[in-house]
Structure 1
Amino acid sequence: MNIIVITGGSRGIGAATAQLCARRGMGVILTYTSNAQAAESVVAGIHADGGKAVALELDVSDIKSFGAFTDAVRAELQSIWQKTSLSGLVNNAGHGLFNPIETVSEAQFDGLLNVHLKGPFFLTQALLPLMEEGASIVNLTSATTRVATAGVAPYAASKGALDVLTRYMAKEFGEHRIRANAVSPGAIRTELGGGLNDEFEALLASQTALGRVGEPDDVARVIATLLSEDSGWINGQSIDVSGGYIL
């Protein structure tokens, strides 16, 4: 059985990915920052469908905690699945900020950079010894790196850096047959940045070629495919999953 780690797996795209991957026969270790109840609800749903999953607390911005987290992952691998290695990592955890450049504080900027770039960099580094040959890494970036949308500059900049990092991961990990790809969602119906009101959703739908905003499952299906052997020859790519947002 393939076992994967999904950060930020208690809601939105992360939760949808955890559920779909479990339905496709993968074991899931999902993380949450503060909402243990939501995370356990996702785990319970997976168990009810006959899958196996566990939720572990992790603040992706707290680099010092990664050693203990890696030890916890190793312990869960052994106790639940009797395995010693991981088949995949989805760097999904994050948060949004919608402020014009002139109002962004240094603390806000650092918070975004820590969660969206520094965290994935060092978490991947920490978990790399557990990654088996043929494993897959998927980094969640954003369509805001492709188009300039006022108010999301620091968020988009950190995601753009993660996009570049993805290619370097693919290059450096290739000798171990570990793939790395990025998934770049467009407008998705999640709680990121406070969610969507009707007016904002209508605007985003009008800017999307397929005429609607995306659902978490739209992105989860692409992530799950990248984690599978079906995508074994896809490496170092950024895949736009936006329904044609601002083409």
Structure 2
Amino acid sequence: MSQLTPLTMGHSKLVLRRLTIALYPVWPIVMASLLIAPGANAQAARDLATPQPFEAQYRLEVRGWPSTTITHRLSHEGEHWLSDMRFSITVASGQESSRFSLDGDDIRALLFSSSYSVLGVGDRYQLNESEIPTLDRQSALFDLSRRAGHENCIARSPCAIAFVDQKGRDEHFQYYVDDRNVDEQIIDGPATLSVPAGEFEALRVSLIDTEKPDRLLTLHFHPDWPGLILSAVYQKDGRRETQLTLTQFQPDGGATP
């Protein structure tokens, strides 16, 4: 039976770290705790979409790695919601899930767990409700996609976001709804986006790391399906590093939009 030597263990951890960094913008994504900038909540509390359970699959492409499929499920379990994402390729796997409750338009994070592994070496994390002061990554992704377009968050006046990662540490981003569609034309309201899963209405949201302004994450959300990602592209120094694309979408008991 082969064993991991200190050298191979060190290499595995390096690969794990690089893969985690590469996947972070989309896999552990904006799945973070979210603080809307002062003045945004007055508009954000109106006409938010009603959550709907679904199952989706995304194609994840990371520069320098083989593409893989992410499975994403949003399910309603009694008084709670569960958002779960997971992927697996030959040498790596990852999973994140969050339980949260809704009280009107307010979200309360209850339990967050995540795990990542490369060549059998990895980490597991869990945050209980008392360790999540605002939201975790999965519930925040749901919240961001639900609120996008309902606040006055534009490029010249973006909203602030405070992220809590898998270890409960804060990170800070800004976001705004972009008024350009994929053809760089100015639009008013949701555009139409074609992906392998079909053609959908889409809101384009841009996120910027306040500590690393050379990095940009652009996402397209469906305005009527909170939590659903239509596409996401992460760029560093203007070069695409990671891309996520919706390939399959199955509403739970509903019709495809």
Q: TM-score, normalised by structure 2?
A: 0.34
Radius of gyration: which is bigger? 2
Structure with greater proportional helix content? 1
More strand by share: 2
